[in-house]
Amino acid sequence: MVYLFGFLTAFFDLLTMMAPWLLIGFLFAGLLHVYMPKEKITRFMGKKNLRSVINAAILGVPLPLCSCGVIPTGIAFHKEGASKGATVSFLISTPQTGVDSILVTYSMLGLPFALVRPVVAFLSGVFGGSISNLMDRKARAEKNGGINMQAELYEGGSKGRIKAMFRYAFYEFLMDIAKWLIIGLAIAALIEMLLPDDFFTMYIGNEFLSMGIVLLAAIPVYVCATGSVPIAAVLMMKGLSPGAALVFLMAGPATNTATMAVIGKAIDKRTLVVYLTTIIISAFFFGGITNLLPREWFVFALQGMAHDHIHHIFPEWVNTVSGTVLILLTLNVYLMKFFNKRNKTGIAEPNSGLQKIIKLGVTGMTCNHCKANVEKNLSNLEGVDFVNADPHSDEVILKGDRIDLSKVKDVVESMGYGYKGEVDKQGFRN
């Protein structure tokens, strides 16, 4: 019981420390999602030159996309005309940071780390994109027309946009990271409880070795850029070097087995090799540089964290209220997910007459960005009147009277997802 109380206390302390910055970050995420002109993005990423690579990294750094959400977006850019180098630059730079994770990094690790993360994400993206362009000697294949990156339309003018902004910020985006944020906080709380304060200085004294161990652990697993922050903070409190913590903050969000599989399939194996090699080299290089910087830059914030008075920008009551609001928003996400799952098959389009309802197996959808991409692009197919994609069950429901499954398969696979064929179908009449 004592251990459970200690775990819950540590968990809630970490949550309240992050909560105000998370809420601010979510709001910025909503602004970017609604007001960024998506139809103009590919104009700046289409050429096989350094400028396109830099533009892709600049675009990727502030975007609040995790490694699973960035994959369909990056592949869509590639299909719409972005060069392979620009695509790799975007895939590397985007998941490492985002407006939300930068703010949370400042709140828990201090200003130096908050500045280092986006700079490292940008430089590693440019490095990987440049290498990819150098290796891509062949003429690029014709782009696939299945991916549609047209701008979203919002009903109700400016009010509709504001509504969409808040829905994305505090529901859709939160849904994408809620599970991983909770897992990250839980791991951080367990580490704080179980590991002695001098664990890394006692047992892994070699800083280069500690970076290698952290890298090996971080590459295959998934943790979002925001959820990685509390883990890195607690590991540093236990003696992990700032450079090794940076390695974790880079490799944890940027890589996982699912991401690597999709890149290899949707683009090519050479791009996957460049992607992984860039992250590994960049992690060791920037981690080593970080360890050469004055150590007090990084331990000051942790000393404040250890004494529960980090960053007095927000009074304690603001942290507590923000933590409570974040818990309520997270509960709302899971309640809505539960009710939506129960009601998803009962949706009927008005005046649709006789239609087929086809349930397909589609793997690789991991978040709401995946859901939105699948629904938008399948909706553009002739004969498809309604689409509902469910990342949690790996299923897509189609309604229409002239659905061509061969075209559906082409579109699904062009986005990098796995097409498993028809699961169920039945007649439907209003």
Which domain does 416 fall in, by range? 347-429
Whether 334 is in a domain gets the answer: no
Whether 289 and 183 map to the same domain: the answer is: yes
- CA distances 196 to 234, 238, 239, 247, Å, are 11, 6, 9, 22
Whether 320 and 387 map to the same domain: the answer is: no
How far is CA 117 from its chain centroid?
15
pLDDT given at position 57: 92
Tokens representing 393?
């069950």
Whether the CA torsion 140, 119, 96, 94 is positive or negative: it is negative
Whether 177 and 45 map to the same domain: the answer is: yes
Residue 425's CATH number: 3.30.70.100
pLDDT given at position 247: 93
Number of folded domains in the chain?
2
Whether the CA torsion 184, 189, 193, 195 is positive or negative: it is positive
Compute the 3-state secondary structure of the chain and give helix, strand, coil in percent, each to the nearest 5.
70, 10, 25
Per-residue pLDDT of the chain (430 residues; tens, 9 = 90+): 777 888 888 888 878 877 887 788 788 778 877 776 666 666 677 677 888 899 889 988 988 776 666 766 776 677 666 778 888 899 899 888 888 888 888 888 888 899 999 999 999 999 999 998 888 754 344 334 444 545 555 666 678 888 888 888 888 878 877 887 788 788 878 877 777 766 666 666 678 888 998 888 888 776 778 888 888 888 888 888 899 999 999 988 888 776 777 677 767 788 888 889 999 999 999 999 999 988 888 865 565 555 444 444 578 888 889 989 999 999 998 888 777 666 654 444 444 455 678 889 998 777 777 787 788 888 888 888 888 888 878 889 888 888 888 889 888 887 778 888 888 554 443 3
Whether 403 is in a domain gets the answer: yes
Q: How many CB atoms lie within 10 A of CB 328?
A: 10
Whether 164 and 309 map to the same domain: the answer is: yes
Q: Which residues make Cβ contacts (< 8 Å) with residue 76, sequence separation at least 6?
A: 147, 149, 373, 415
Whether 335 is in a domain gets the answer: no
Residue at 249: amino acid letter: L
CB-CB contact of 213 with 199 (8 Å): no
Whether 375 and 268 map to the same domain: the answer is: no
Whether 259 and 388 map to the same domain: the answer is: no
Whether 336 is in a domain gets the answer: no
* Conformation bin of residue 311: beta by default, left when phi > 0, alpha when psi is -120 to 50: left
pLDDT given at position 6: 82
Whether 359 is in a domain gets the answer: yes
Whether 408 and 302 map to the same domain: the answer is: no
Backbone phi, then psi, for 389, in 5-degree steps? Answer: -105, 135
pLDDT given at position 343: 61
Q: Which residues make Cβ contacts (< 8 Å) with residue 346, sequence separation at least 6?
A: none
